[in-house]
Amino acid sequence: MKILMVGKYFYPVLGGVELHMQNLAYELVKKGHDVEVFASNEDFKDEKLSTKDEIEGIKIRRFLNVFSLCRGILNSDCDVIHYHLFRKVYVDASIIAGKITGKPLVFTPHCVYPPQSLFMKVAKKAYDSSFGHLSLALVDTIVALTENDKSDIIAVGASPNKIEIVPNSIRFEKFRNLVSGESFRNKYGVDRFLLYVGRIDWNKGLEHVIQAMPNLKKLGLKFVIVGEDVGYRAKLDELIDRLNLRHDVTFTGKISEDMLFSAYAACTLFILPAFYEGLPTVVLEAMAYRKPVIAAKTGGTKYVIKHGHNGFLIEYGDPGNICDVVKEALDSDLMSIGENAKKDVEVNYTWEKSAEKIEQIYEGLLSRDLK
């Protein structure tokens, strides 16, 4: 089968959606399929990337703009097109091109983020009733990551009959033999710490953990933030200086996969205090490292984390609750909770299983078109 995936960004851009696409494509290549990815030739910071590339058998083509992307789609000899990420003109416009080809179209929205402000509420409502509604109407199958995603995408106009639930997952083979945390501890000079991995952005709730740090540091904990700044770090630095926490919060920036795995191994607890999430890869990776995850009761994460069993849930935006739950976690049997976390990931969230479900969706659409 020749599979075309389309997204706004792709490798070497690192984000949850991009990693999802890469892992799915890798698994499909392993199954013998021909997979090509179309994406923008810019990264998050508008720096230019090469127009052609290949990684792990996945062919990559990057386009200057949405018009050249649409031409590429119209000229593709693929069997099925799989789009990723909702509310992106780059993706939504290219769905129209895909419809013109007559090929089966699959769409994974990933997450329908709530609006940040009244202005954004109006803007998103206008977009959802135009481009967004059209995209949902044109595609043949919509893949939701969780029941929460399914409800959200129905609320913005998707037909329930089109939706299949296939969770985000991880390549579990990478987590069978776990690395040591010594490399990370030695490089960054940290011992007991809360770990966050992801973009430094407004919707991640990092300021609430920082606000909790004056109390958390009394427990001997530091806060380590791994990931790329997309314009929000200056506000966090302001807060850190105001609370005199310069020695208690560490920013590492982007790090290698080996160092990331060492960070998972080294941390005391993993924390994701975000305003909203689909089903983040980093949560599953931390769980695979037997780390209890503390996550806000928002989006799809609450379907994965079961309080006191494989992690802990917090109220979004409440530093006091973060302190209380961290204390509860530290008083718990972290080893047992970590074992539960790893077992849950191995049973429910591996790409071997999720890719098989996606493959069945493709095959079902192709066999329907042959009738």
The verdict on 93 and 193 lying in the same domain is no
pLDDT in tens, 257-271: 999 999 999 999 999
Residue 371 pLDDT more than 60? Answer: no
The verdict on 13 and 160 lying in the same domain is yes
The verdict on 205 and 319 lying in the same domain is yes
Strands (E) in 254-340, as ranges, are 269-272, 293-296, 311-314
Token pair belonging to 243: 């609370």
In the prediction, which pLDDT does 122 show?
A: 85
The verdict on 341 and 354 lying in the same domain is no
pLDDT in tens, 19-30: 999 999 999 999
The verdict on 329 and 354 lying in the same domain is no
> Residue 170 has what DSSP assignment?
B
Residue 139 pLDDT more than 60? Answer: yes
Number of domains the chain contains: 2
- The pTM of this model reads 0.88
The verdict on 311 and 361 lying in the same domain is no
Confidence of residue 123 (pLDDT cuts 50, 70, 90): confident
Mean pLDDT of all residues in 304-312: 96
The verdict on 176 and 86 lying in the same domain is no
The verdict on 209 and 344 lying in the same domain is yes
Alpha-carbon separation of residue 292 from 169, 173, 203, 213, 331 (angstroms): 17, 20, 22, 19, 12
CATH number at residue 19: 3.40.50.2000
The verdict on 146 and 223 lying in the same domain is no
The verdict on 6 and 72 lying in the same domain is yes
The verdict on 165 and 182 lying in the same domain is no
Confidence of residue 8 (pLDDT cuts 50, 70, 90): very high
Residue 72 pLDDT more than 90? Answer: yes
Range of the domain at 320: 172-348
- Cα separation, 73 vs 71, whole angstroms: 5
The more confident residue out of 214 and 14 is 214
The verdict on 210 and 295 lying in the same domain is yes
Confidence of residue 34 (pLDDT cuts 50, 70, 90): very high
